[in-house]
Structure 1
Amino acid sequence: MNSALALAALLTFTPAPTAPTAAPTPTVEWGTCAGMSGLDARQECATLQVPVDHAAPAGDTFSMAVSRIRTARPGLRRGVLLLIPGGPGSPGLSRPSTMVSRLPAEVLDRYDIVGFDPRGVGRSAPVTCGLTDADTTLTKLKPYPAADGDISENVAWSHRLAEACARNGGPMLRHITTRNAARDIDAIRRALGEQKLSYWGVSYGTYAGAAYATMFPEHTDRVVLDSNDDPDPTKVARGWLANYAVGVEDRFPDFARFAAGRDAEYGLGADPAEVRRTVLDLAARLDREPLPWPGANPARLDGNTLRETMLTAFYSDAGFPGLAALMKAALTGATLPAPTSPPPAALQNTAAVAGATMCNDVEWPASTVRHQRLVDRNRVDYPLTAGMPVNLGPCAFWPYRPAERPVRVTAKGPSNVLLVQNLRDPSTPHSGALKLRAAFGDRARMVSVDAGGHGSYLANGNACGDRTVTEFLVTGRRPATDTLCR
């Protein structure tokens, strides 16, 4: 049986669901965080029983892992500040320990800092599609086309991944959606006994947080959304992927200035224009003649691996020296720096959850001819990402139809949302964040920060942006109008 017929046999039609019935309030008993290391001594952990299918609350449940660090000043306590992780597919159980050393004392005085592993992630009933190592390379998980732009291998890989997820993902996989993420967040709120919830969502956490603010507006207190996704309900994650092309172009000048200012050290060019030519020429050369890169996945430095390494390095200025050193070594024939890769089990888990979220939220077009045309045009318009952002992926052949429509963020609800956004974010560009701002209308204010990288609040040393978010969390005051922090 060919792959198309095998996939057709796996397709499941899901009828339009009835409105979910409220599940019983889960209970929570706090204790130690067994099996976790490197945590703040104050962090506690617990599990909540949450419905796998919120439309059937009396059915199967799973254990959701949650954590907290309580305020040291109960007399000033306002409530809970929930940390919504990104991804989709990133864990969050250890984030209270990570963030307690960074959050200002006046925020820690007023909130219990609460983290969690989202459904399917980490310690919350983790899922996997059982992919081969060859199918979990970073240049496959982001769909880079072949060196000549051909997408045939992307099509074959997308079939394999969709079929593997249908075969190995288990019942949880079809219930991993952003709407269910919002319902899970509300289960956490109810378990903690809070009438309202304050939260800080980052990256994909901004869309999950926007979904919660749309679905449960009466239960929101102070909402901070940081590094914001475009909420277009006709595209959702397809739009997020396409935005990489814009974001990398927005961010590249920061790296080009860094490298040009250190031309004597790295030899990438004496001015930003020359650095850009060097990067594009090196990627093209590596497309033709990859270099061995032991320990990497794949174990070679080709053009797409360089492009993906560059994208990742752009998340923080701290990534610039390593990227420049890698390019220098590739240009001069020196030994390439040791690569860093996520642990295989974590990569498998993230791939499954990311795929499920993106594909279960909304249907994706499956035309390979259409995608080839998009890739061909995108490679010309945005050469730094070589067509990857508009390429076809596993959602084109996903075995489950979306059970619900994507969340359409609106202006209905309290005016209690603050968006914070870097101007030059490689992953969630400012232009996409403006669309979330528009969708919220007068519910939101936006603080744009003249900085690069992914993650804004407490991430890049911009005192104006940090002060504005902190003041909102502490006092509830936001700027009267949208603000630019230089």
Structure 2
Amino acid sequence: MRRIVLLVVAALFSAACFLPGGLGGSDEGAAPSPTKDGIWTPCTDEARKIYPQASRSFQYHCAKVDVPKDWAKPDGPKIQISLIRARIGSQSDRIGSLLVNPGGPGGSGVDTAVYLTNALPVSVLRRFDLVGFDPRGVGRSAPVKCMSDEDLDASFGSEPDPVEQAQFDQIVTLTKQMDAGCKAKYGDDLKLYGTVQAAKDIDAIRQAVGDDKLTYLGYSYGTLLGATYAQLFPKNIRAMVLDGAVDPTMSSVEASESQAKGFERAFSNFDAWCKDHTSRCPIAPDARGAITKALDQARANPVTYEGRKATSGWVFYAVISALYTQDRWTDLADAIDSLHDGDAEAVFELADAYAERTPGGSYSNLFDANAAVNCTDDDSPPSVSQIRTLQSQWREKYPLFGAPLAIGSLTCSVWSGGRDPVPTGKANGAPPIVVVGTKGDPATPYEQTPALANMLGVGHVLTWEGEGHTAYPETSCISSAVNAYLIDLTVPAEGKTCPA
């Protein structure tokens, strides 16, 4: 569940089925009409298509909310935001809706809500309607789709650390080609897919589902979306949990280096785990050496599987994919061991799961939306020449992940869409907000957790001494603390830490 739900954020770079629905539009200054059960459309069959194991204890209904394409022009064209509501049959003492966002940016909250029916604690699910939404530009909500499958294959398969200038220039050219396709298709509208616009959509959703106050659970990039909402609408919040914090006060260069440090730390933890669990790690005792060797061999002579070459890029993204959760560390070790034996199937399984690539070679719009949101939010990306310098510097500091994280900044460096940076102030007037951090989180390193809490001014840190990206509901300690907050508004004790 965690691998599906919790997605990549920041400098790293779903074909979803259509969900029917039906909320009408709204006039300037007026809230969308409150939803009634008769307005929601039953969509249990669609939920089963998303996740065949979706809990049968729930009823699923779908809807759409009309919002301004540009909130600065409320009388202008509208777009539709897709929602799904999961309501457990044993619901009692209903508090309201729990709105969830899985991150990305580019992750589908509609899909996530269905997955979470089998993951969130029943004590929470009995008190809330679980509501997921695809943010603007994502999945079923006016999706941004402007990168070809061929270009995405080339991007993921390209050298993660292009040392030769010709290699580097080739990646710059490919990145510019992808940017040009997006600019040609969407033009100036690209700047309308940023976090500020999406946060305003959330308040429309809050009104549409009939909640006086918002209860929100945001993972990864969803913490940035939630924090932006908290600054724009602080008095409209009942409770907010931000798990896997993104610190918006960091520049994009600082954020990328933070991720390089986080992934390097997580990889060192994986290497140490292999030394201590040799029976479960066939590349022990030197997992780092084995993966470095696999990358070098992929550069010289990539293994072929079903017509695809397991280049160094695909091997690298297999590593990235597995580091998101400790549950996949064994899979990574097995995949690298199989690759040494000439079998790349498991490497592609890990990398394709990360890339949201189907066996047939098609991609969701995760990375199209990811670029549109991240680059709109980033008003000061590094230049191409700065990235080339950072690549060398970070390679020395973070041997496996430094250079690739620098190269990942190229997307926003060449981005020709507009910019709409996120705010970085206090959430004055908001209630206490719980910010959850994981000590071994590679994608949103723990250091960003207290930083986001401090920025908001009303943040309360809850720490998990575990591995992987995000914490709730991984352990009973974390779950108990978050459940008590969501249900009873009991804020975790200052400095509360949960063991791994």
Q: Could you tell me the TM-score, scaled by structure 2's length?
A: 0.84
Change (3 A) 1:50 1:452: same
Instruction: Give the aligned partner of residue 318 of structure 1.
Output: 327
Which residue, out of 313, 320, 323, partners 1:304? 313
What whole-Å deviation, never above 9, does each CA across 1:204-252 have from its counterpart, x for those lacking one? 10000010111100001111001111212643xx544433211112212
Instruction: Give the aligned partner of residue 306 of structure 2.
Output: 294
Check if 1:158 corresponds to 2:171: no
Give SS of 1:480's match.
Answer: coil
Q: How many residues align?
A: 453
In structure 2, runs of 5+ residues without a counterpart are 1-26
Which residue, out of 199, 217, 222, partners 1:200? 217
Check if 1:427 corresponds to 2:437: no
Give SS of 2:245's match.
Answer: coil
Q: Is the CA contact 2:318–2:348 (under 8 Å) kept in the aligned structure 1? A: no
Give SS of 1:224's match.
Answer: strand
Change (3 A) 1:107 1:264: closer
Change (3 A) 1:102 1:351: closer
Which residue, out of 289, 312, 315, partners 1:277? 289
Instruction: Give the aligned partner of residue 339 of structure 1.
Output: 348
Q: Is the CA contact 1:450–1:484 (under 8 Å) kept in the aligned structure 2? A: yes
- Alignment partners' CA distance in 2, 1:72 and 1:80: 15
Aligned AA for 1:77?
R
What whole-Å deviation, never above 9, does each CA across 1:10-66 have from its counterpart, x for those lacking one? xxxxxxxxxxx9643223420122645235550110111111111111111112111
Q: Is the CA contact 1:375–1:390 (under 8 Å) kept in the aligned structure 2? A: yes
Change (3 A) 1:464 1:362: same
What whole-Å deviation, never above 9, does each CA across 1:112-163 have from its counterpart, x for those lacking one? 111111111111111211425133456369x933255852222112211111
Q: Is the CA contact 1:355–1:394 (under 8 Å) kept in the aligned structure 2? A: yes
Which residue, out of 19, 24, 41, partners 2:30? 24
Change (3 A) 1:264 1:42: closer
- Alignment partners' CA distance in 2, 1:132 and 1:329: 27
- Alignment partners' CA distance in 2, 1:178 and 1:32: 30
How far off is 1:415 after superposition?
Answer: 3.6
Q: Map 1:440-479; keep pairs closer than 5 Å.
A: 440-441=456-457, 443-458=458-473, 460=474, 462-479=475-492
Instruction: Give the aligned partner of residue 264 of structure 2.
Output: 249
What whole-Å deviation, never above 9, does each CA across 1:379-422 have from its counterpart, x for those lacking one? 111112150112242222222331x4421142523342001111
Q: Is the CA contact 2:108–2:134 (under 8 Å) kept in the aligned structure 1? A: yes
Check if 1:214 corresponds to 2:223: no
Q: Is the CA contact 2:384–2:410 (under 8 Å) kept in the aligned structure 1? A: no
Give SS of 2:437's match.
Answer: strand
- Alignment partners' CA distance in 2, 1:348 and 1:102: 24
How far off is 1:482 after superposition?
Answer: 2.2
Aligned AA for 1:418?
V
- Alignment partners' CA distance in 2, 1:301 and 1:188: 43
Aligned AA for 2:192?
H
Which residue, out of 361, 381, 390, partners 2:377? 361
Q: Could you tell me the TM-score, scaled by structure 1's length?
A: 0.86
Q: Map 1:72-221; keep pairs closer than 5 Å.
A: 72=89, 76-137=93-154, 139=156, 144-146=160-162, 148=164, 151-169=168-186, 172-221=189-238
How far off is 1:356 after superposition?
Answer: 0.8
How far off is 1:169 after superposition?
Answer: 3.2
Instruction: Give the aligned partner of residue 77 of structure 2.
Output: 60
Give SS of 1:347's match.
Answer: coil
Which residue, out of 396, 418, 427, partners 2:413? 396
Instruction: Give the aligned partner of residue 21 of structure 2.
Output: none
Aligned AA for 2:40?
W
Change (3 A) 1:262 1:147: farther
Q: Is the CA contact 1:366–1:397 (under 8 Å) kept in the aligned structure 2? A: no
Q: Is the CA contact 1:290–1:300 (under 8 Å) kept in the aligned structure 2? A: yes
Q: Is the CA contact 1:198–1:222 (under 8 Å) kept in the aligned structure 2? A: yes
What whole-Å deviation, never above 9, does each CA across 1:345-400 have from its counterpart, x for those lacking one? 97351122111101111224453221111001111111121501122422222223
Instruction: Give the aligned partner of residue 350 of structure 1.
Output: 366
Aligned AA for 1:31?
T
What whole-Å deviation, never above 9, does each CA across 1:432-459 have from its counterpart, x for those lacking one? 2232122123x0111110110112101x
In structure 1, runs of 5+ residues without a counterpart are 1-20
Instruction: Give the aligned partner of residue 328 of structure 1.
Output: 337
- Alignment partners' CA distance in 1, 2:181 and 2:219: 29
Change (3 A) 1:114 1:163: same
- Alignment partners' CA distance in 2, 1:187 and 1:203: 22
Q: Is the CA contact 1:233–1:406 (under 8 Å) kept in the aligned structure 2? A: no
Q: C-alpha root-mean-square deviation of aligned residues, in Å?
A: 2.5
Q: Is the CA contact 1:313–1:323 (under 8 Å) kept in the aligned structure 2? A: yes
Instruction: Give the aligned partner of residue 260 of structure 1.
Output: 275
- Alignment partners' CA distance in 2, 1:255 and 1:290: 24
Give SS of 1:42's match.
Answer: strand
What whole-Å deviation, never above 9, does each CA across 1:58-83 have from its counterpart, x for those lacking one? 11111211111236566512222100
Deviates more, 1:119-128 or 1:74-83: 74-83
Q: Is the CA contact 1:52–1:175 (under 8 Å) kept in the aligned structure 2? A: yes
What whole-Å deviation, never above 9, does each CA across 1:296-329 have from its counterpart, x for those lacking one? xxx2223332222111101112211221111112
Deviates more, 1:476-485 or 1:114-123: 476-485
- Alignment partners' CA distance in 2, 1:22 and 1:74: 35
